[in-house]
Structure 1
Amino acid sequence: MPKLTIDGIEIEVEAGTSVLQACEALGIEVPRFCYHERLSVAGNCRMCLVDMERAPKPVASCCMPVGEGMVIRTDTERVRKARNGVMEFLLINHPLDCPICDQGGECDLQDQAVAYGKNTSRYDENKRAVKNKEFGPLIKTVMTRCIHCTRCIRFAEEIAGVPVLGATYRGENMEVGTYVEKTLDSELSGNLVDICPVGALTSKPYAFHARPWELRKFESIDAMDAVGSNIRVDVRGGQVMRVLPRLNEAVNEEWISDKTRHAVDGLMKRRLDKPYVRGADGKLKAASWDEAFAAIAKRVAGLDGSKIGAIAGNQADAESMLLLKELMQSLGVASIDCRQDGAKLDATTRAGYLFNTTIAGIEQADAVLLIGTNPRKEAAIINARLRKRWTMGGFPVGVIGPQIDLTYDHSYLGAGPQSLEALLKGEGEFAAKLKAAQRPMIIVGMGALTRADGAQVLAAARQLAEQVGAVAEGWNGFNVLHTAAARVGGLDLGLVPAAGGRDVAGILDGADKGEVEVVYLLGADEIDASRLGKAFVIYQGHHGDVGAHHADVILPGAAYTEKEGTYVNTEGRVQRGRKAAFAPGDAREDWAILRALSAHLAKTLPYDDLASVRRRLVEVNPAFAHVDDVAPSAWGAFGAAGAMDAAPFVTAIDNFYQTCAISRASATMAECTEAFVKGRQEEGKTGTHG
């Protein structure tokens, strides 16, 4: 490890470290525009110049590797003069429109112009102007502000895997854009706004809505998918204005998906803000909480538990699912389920429904097999991590299921279970690659597990994992990729049918036949509500979506940004979301609604505050004690032996942008659906591309 001296301080760093990284390790600030720690080094802004002993002129610290005995000075007169000059050149053509720029207050160029620039300019000629580009509904462009740092080009190619951006022309005429005019079709495109150091790329839905100093900031957890991305929720008044990523190396690094970032405008649309009860005329009418609870108590009174069913939705927090389960148990109800999509997963073996490798552990794997999953749509952040590992080399990828674009090369092995059976027999080139790998991964998606033979597919995947050595001492390469934020938490709490109980399909079938008379929907909107028949439906949720349309009683709940909630992501990591805004009107937090309802049903639950509920969570499953950590899970038997159906696997998500009540209420997500999903379908029909 080479030793060098920076500003009189000796430091020892790993070989290959850049001078800029060594300066950061000492806490010495070096200005930069083009450098980003997760992107390749471009070295083209020259803002990070430092003095190196015996060098004839300042060197760019971002692309200068450290050397033994190197002496670096970061604050000499020559360095200051060089940085002044670079800043003067950058501002030659940059427009003076900070008062109307959405980047104002969060702009690297503003900050560094104050710290390293001059207070005058010697440039008298006209500034250049560049035509704005059309990148789609999410990215607003003002390309005259662009300083050619090329961060966006490198992000699109290296992280997102969509190499559509580039630079055309040279010198002062250089422009960043797509070579052929087209929108930027990536599930991660919103991150371009975060990495742009100026106001060239800003958020189109957020444009001119707020300034950063007007916002209150809350650290929370995303509930749009099962990744559990760490986010920052920015609020003004009672409204969520935007969502930004929060650094967590173990989960989402510093990226979030476009749905996580932009679906939040749906939080203010189609909201349920007061209880409703369906009257004798068949119409829903506003009611008080007591009237709504009384209507439920009247209908449930004296009803046998076998005639009641409960379904937990995809964004339910662990606290509310715990109270739902205990309330149903007090009523003698065995028919309760958290698997809206009918996934054939049971709660007996935790390792059988987790992403055991962990998200960060993907970088340690050396082969992966995807079964019935499209991670690009189901978990865009995990797909980015898979691509990151693929770019390192030595990472063969195999796919069983629909033919998809994953943003990285892969071997297509077939459409259905026959290909899985062939791998079990050791047939094919990819079977040999899996067997030869030291740390192979198998990822099973909901497209394979929501079928009638999902339990058999799960058992076959487990057998393959054991056969190729994916489960060994210190390594578990068997993974289930969930699509619902509430799914792992629900399974951890045992929200599956008890003995003699019905699952989701059974509850709906029973309601259709009149055998189930009362159905409790806890934010459950992803069901075939037409099969609820004449059942008395209680819907507790935050949006007037599918469940609310069929409800006889509506109990308005809080969305994930409006309550303190515990969520368990697909890898089994327990995380806590924070309350960033108040729920509208009379809406309340979900656990409090269930606690109040239990009192009206004369089955009072013993919880008076959130802390007591969370203590009970730990009693039910010790995994909830490991907040912000992944609790170890023992390997065991799961799935069911038997023949698999020959039908091909299908994707669990057709439209990435609209998967829940919030995203369906979002105008931005509707625009993305129109631009990307329907646009892609039209291209497929006509056979045109580009």
Structure 2
Amino acid sequence: MAKVIVDGIPVEVPNGSSVLQACEAAGKEIPRFCYHDKLSVAGNCRMCMVEITGARKPLVSSCSQPVMEGMQVTTDSETVRAARRSTMELLLINHPLDCPICDQGGECDLQDQAVGYGRDCSRYTDEKRAVVDKYMGPLIRTVMTRCIQCTRCVRFTNEIAGTAELGGIFRGTNMEITPFIEQSLVSELSGNLIDVCPVGALTSKPTAFYYRSWELKNTDSIDVVDAVGTNIMLQIRGNEVMRVLPRRNDDVNEEWLSDKGRFSLDGLKRRRLDRPWIKKNGKLVEASWSETIQYVADKLKMVAADRIGAIAGDLCDAESMSALKHLMNTLGSSNTDCRQDNAYYDISERGNYVFNTTIAGIEDADALLVIGSFPRQEAPVLNARIRKRWLSLTEQFPIAYIGELPDDPTYKVDHFGDSPELINDLLSGNHAFAEILKNAKKPMIILGHGALTRPDSKIIFEKTMALANAINAVSESWNGFNILHHAASRVAGLDLGFVPQGQGKDITAMVNGGVDALWLLGADEVDLSGLPPECFVIYQGHHGERAASRADVILPGAAYTEKSGTYINTEGRVQRSFRAICPPGEAKEEWSVIYSIGQALSVEHPYRDLETLRHYMAEVNPVFAQCGLVKNSVNVSVGDGVQGNFEKQELRAVISDYFLTNSISRASVTMNECSKLRYAPSAEAAE
């Protein structure tokens, strides 16, 4: 630790810290534009200048100056104030006077700091320069005349996103930030450029001129487009979500958010189910809630218990799954399944189906093997953490892939092939990477759903567990065996036991004639082509898609922005979201409708409201009482002595179109446009 005196205040900071960090530790506010604590230091803007006593050059940029023992720093002398005023004057000489129409207005760093450090007039008399706006795709709107060349966007694409799509051309006052190729950005994290830009040069294109920041109210929530559990903030005006922003949580998403989670919000307003429907004489007609609830209850009374089934979708909250499971079990049915892809899991122990290393723990690993997964599309924010570890200068981080590699993973990998037989080679020690894994102190294995949704998934899982055992990936201090989920509801469903129990039928049996009544709880990815015509289908969800078109009864539900819900991310962390707006029309929260139907069936519920339902969930599984915590374990002996042969088919990626993976994103105009540009590039036309 180094002792530094800031404005007469002694502070201790770790060796290697910057003067800016020491000033913040002393409670001093230092203005800055180019500095960002998650990016490398550039020292471009010179706004963070401070005075150091005894230095050869008293004025230094505090972001790039390392601390030294006994250093004395002055942050608010007349010399420092004059330097900051001059720097601000230089930054503003070419900046356009369009604050009244700029989307960044009200939350612009340049605005805020110009008030505190700007001059009351400018000595610059030449004409302002103008810069041509750059095309960056359907998500990012550019007004490059506003750019102050802080290079945050360039550093983000190079360091965090790993796509290196932006750079600077020319020099001095003629410098321009531009994409290398005039085409849409390809990163799944490109929306974060809006957040890191300190001025209005990069703003959101889909919502340009829709709102002002001071009109919006904030509600904390959890992103459900993947299983990372990104902490987000919903910004609303009236009864409409206008913007989705990331909330900082260094254990989960740091301060990043995927493009799908940020920009698919327009899908919340399209193709919505807003009233109950009942099929009469082969045609769906509108009905009241009381009529619909009684109709469903009467139909279920006519069906034998073992002929009733329920399937939960990928966006469901834990409360609705818990309520539906209780109803099914009370009726005498064990036909429940939360695996729309029919993935294999060993649920005998929680550590067998979660990301045990934790997302933050990736930074401690020293070797990684990925099997049947492509994190860049399945979990972009988690993939950024892998890249962060790969870029770390502490030690090398070898990464190997087994399975399809559809795109650049954003870090260097050894791609061994697509055959699961490679697991046997690693297990027997006949592969070069086996030695790397054995010599690693903290090796990691990520097993994805490209491996868990195959006919031989059980063999792959058990042999991967055996491999984890062989390389000592699991110990008292380290757990390197990980399952990477891509469905937000999956871990909560497994924790609740929303899978077939005893003689219960799985999803394959249910959709192929195994039941006479099927309850689809937001299950939009299920293939219902094998379902008999006489099967009574209840669809409960928020978007009218393929499953809703097959339904005999439609129960309109609430999207994740319209209800308070519990979600468990891929690492097993319990998190809560809160209602931001009301559901459209007559739509209701799913658990409350299930509760009403249970009452019509004379079911005795162990809950009566959301709070008591959550208490009941904690009784079913204590993890639901541990919000924000991760407590996992795994028994590696599961993989010992496994027998069986792999299928000859190759390990394939489970996501073919990153932008259209759920009902909300498929309803989004923005996501459909992104999909066309990414997967049909010939259709792209620059503005």
1:603 paired to 2:603: yes
1:641-675: CA deviation from partner (whole Å, max 9, x where unpaired) = 42221211110111111111000000110011011
Offset at residue 224 of structure 1 (A): 0.8
Worse overlay, 633-642 or 379-388: 633-642
Q: Distance in 1 between matches of 2:683 and 2:175?
A: 34
Trace 1:9-88 onto structure 2 (pairs within 5 A).
Answer: 9-55=9-55, 56-88=57-89
Q: Is the 8 A contact 2:469 2:637 kept in 1?
A: no
Q: Which moved more, 1:174-183 or 1:574-583?
A: 174-183
**Is 1:307 equivalent to 2:307 in the alignment?**
yes
Letter in 1 for 2:172: G
Does the 8 Å CA contact 1:168/1:179 hold for their aligned counterparts?
Answer: no
1:7 aligns with 2:10: no
Q: Which residue of 1 aligns with 2:591?
A: 591
Query: Is 2:420 the partner of 1:417?
Result: yes
Question: In terms of mean alpha carbon deviation, does 121-130 or 300-309 score higher?
Answer: 300-309
Tell me the residue number matched to 2:91: 90
Whole-angstrom distance in 2 between the partners of 1:416 and 1:438: 27
C-alpha distance in 2 between matches for 1:152 and 1:556:
42
Aligned twin of 2:525:
526
Q: Distance in 2 between matches of 1:202 and 1:668?
A: 15
- Cα separation, 2, equivalents of 1:160 and 1:522: 35
Residues 648 and 446 of structure 1: is their aligned pair in 2 closer, same or farther, counting only changes over 3 Å? Answer: same
Q: Distance in 1 between matches of 2:224 and 2:592?
A: 20
Distance in 1 between residues matched to 2:561 and 2:530, nearest whole Å: 31
1:309 and 1:303 map into 2 onto residues whose CA distance is 11
User: What pairs with 1:160-559 in structure 2 (closer than 5 Å)?
Assistant: 160-280=161-281, 282-392=282-392, 393-403=395-405, 404-510=407-513, 515-534=514-533, 535-559=535-559
2:650 to 639, 648, 651: 648
Q: CA deviation at 1:637?
A: 5.2
Contact kept in structure 2, 1:459 and 1:641, CA below 8 Å: no
2:667 to 654, 665, 679: 665
Q: In structure 2, list runs of 5 or more residues that go unmatched.
A: none
User: Normalization by structure 2: what TM-score?
Assistant: 0.97
- Matched to 1:223, the amino acid is V
Q: 5 Å matches for 1:105-120?
A: 105-120=106-121
Paired with 1:8 and 1:334, the residues of 2 have a C-alpha distance of: 69
Alpha-carbon displacement from aligned partner over 1:30-74 (angstroms, at most 9, x marks no partner): 000000001000001000000011233410000000011111100
Distance 1:88 1:546 in 2: 58
1:24 and 1:642 map into 2 onto residues whose CA distance is 59
Give the Cα–Cα distance (whole angstroms) in 1 for the partners of residues 171 and 683 of structure 2.
37
How far is the alpha carbon of 1:116 from its aligned partner? 0.5
TM-fit CA distance, 1:638: 4.8
Deviation at 1:182, TM superposition (A): 2.3
Q: Provide the rounded CA distance (Å) in 2 between the counterparts of 1:614 and 1:108.
A: 42
Q: Cα RMSD over matched residues?
A: 1.4
Q: CA–CA distance in 2 between the matches of 1:135 and 1:38? A: 23
Unpaired runs of 5+ in structure 1?
683-690
What amino acid is aligned across from residue 243 of structure 1 in structure 2?
A: V
Q: 1: distance between equivalents of 2:385 and 2:586?
A: 41
Find the aligned partners of 1:370 and 1:200 in 2 and give their Cα distance. Answer: 38
d(CA) in 2 for partners of 1:134, 1:343: 41
Q: Secondary structure at the match of 1:476?
A: coil
User: Residues 346 and 288 (structure 1 numbering): CA distance in 2 closer, same or farther, change over 3 Å?
Assistant: farther
Residue 577 of structure 1: CA displacement? Answer: 0.7
Aligned equivalents of 1:636, 1:41: Cα separation in 2: 43
CA contact (8 A) 1:416 1:647 kept: yes
One-letter identity of the residue aligned with 2:575 = Q
Question: Secondary structure of the residue that 1:27 maps to in structure 2?
Answer: coil
User: Would the aligned equivalents of 2:358 and 2:571 in 1 still touch at CA under 8 Å?
Assistant: yes
Matched residue type, 1:539: Y
Deviations 1:460-513 (A, max 9, x none): 110101110101121000000001000000000001101111111111122xxx
Structure-1 separation of matches of 2:608 and 2:120 = 60
Residue 206 of structure 1: how far off its partner (Å): 1.4
Shift of 1:633: 2.9
Q: Cα offset for 1:173?
A: 1.3
> How far did residue 347 of structure 1 move?
2.3
Between 1:317-326 and 1:600-609, the stretch displaced more is 600-609
Q: Deviations over 1:368-419 (max 9, x none)?
A: 0000000000000110000000001411000000134100000011102111
Q: Structure 1 residues 593 and 636, CA, compared in 2 at 3 Å: closer, same or farther? A: farther
Partner of 2:129: 128
1:155 alignment counterpart: 156
**Structure 2: which amino acid aligns with 1:660?**
N
CA contact (8 A) 1:539 1:551 kept: yes
* Residue identity opposite 2:489 in structure 1: A
CA apart distance, 1:531: 2.2
- TM-superposed deviation, 1:636: 5.5
Instruction: Tell me how far apart the structure 1 counterparts of residues 195 and 71 of structure 2 sit (CA, whole Å).
Output: 34
Moved over 3 A (4+): 636-641
> Could you tell me how far apart the structure 2 residues matched to 1:309 and 1:342 are?
15
For residues 167-190 of structure 1, give each alpha carbon's deviation from its aligned partner in whole angstroms, at most 9, with x where no partner exists: 000112110012332221100000
TM-score by length of 1: 0.97
Aligned residues: 678
